[in-house]
Amino acid sequence: MPPLAKGSSHASAIKVMSIRTLIWNENVHERTNPIVGELYPSGIHGAIAAGLSADKDIVVATATLDEPEDGVSAERLAATEVLIWWAHKAHDEVSDAAVERIARRVHEGMGLICLHSAHFSKIFRRLMGTPCALKWREVGEKERLWVINPTHPIAQGLAAYFELEHEEMYGEPFSVPEPAETVFVSWFKGGEVFRSGLTYQRGGGRIFYFRPGHETYPTYYDANVLRVIRNAVHWAHNPSPAWSAVAVGTNVPAEQAPEPLTSTRSDGEAGGGR
């Protein structure tokens, strides 16, 4: 990209027309637990989709586990710029092939937002490389989410903190890699704390983990929660062309080096690297 003219910015140079966002939900609790079914008649994915629909820059689609290829075919992923993932009961029912398809797309530049119990999803653990375990308690206690990174794009439009009257508790230690940025820290009425908004980069892809969202509470109707998810979609969106060669290693012989170069290796010393 040429140097930007004075007064211009990347934001104006790259006009975002629409962010193709796929909201994926295992959609199991909604069909097996009457409380959840009544709370989310269109599914958790439907509630999030409705919440994001106010943003004209976001084009929303939804997918569920019972669809062909677990709802995440290669074609569907190729047409997705940001993927939102909610899962709890059926992590193991997502095929390893689907997980690898998603990981590949994240490495190429697709954004990924993992919500609540998706901390134990195959795709999140695959991309983190650590157990991603935590403490938990389900008594419906109050959660206070502190914005500890107020200039972060994901925190825009929020007050110093916001509260959810009833949530499941997640407590530290959370066995994830040290994040690139910590946006929120939660405090729970029972006394525990938790890093509840974390960012990561994997290849060309941006990842955001956001803690709230237990299925028996109306969390995905909360204006602050929806604001965070909406901000996160914008933050995770990478408008660059997909980094399709991200997994390809390339040998560059001396004669193709950017500067003139003569090999100092003797015959037979050539290694088997690739």
Q: What is the contact surface with Zn ion in residues (CB under 5 A)?
A: 117, 168, 214
| Amino acid at residue number 65 | L
Q: Report whether 148 contacts 182 (CB < 8 A).
A: yes
Nearer to Zn ion, 108 or 143 (CB): 143
Nearer to Zn ion, 81 or 143 (CB): 143
Q: 203's torsion region: left (phi>0), alpha (psi -120 to 50) or beta?
A: left
Least Å distance, CB 32 to Zn ion, is: 15
Least Å distance, CB 19 to Zn ion, is: 27
Least Å distance, CB 116 to Zn ion, is: 6
Nearer to Zn ion, 82 or 134 (CB): 134
Least Å distance, CB 217 to Zn ion, is: 9
Which of 62, 124, 57 minimizes the C-alpha distance to 88? 124
- The residue at minimum Cβ distance from Zn ion is 214
Least Å distance, CB 252 to Zn ion, is: 49
Nearer to Zn ion, 168 or 222 (CB): 168
Nearer to Zn ion, 221 or 243 (CB): 221
Which of 116, 82, 89, 151 minimizes the C-alpha distance to 222? 116
**CA distance linking residue 89 with residue 100, whole number of Å:** 20
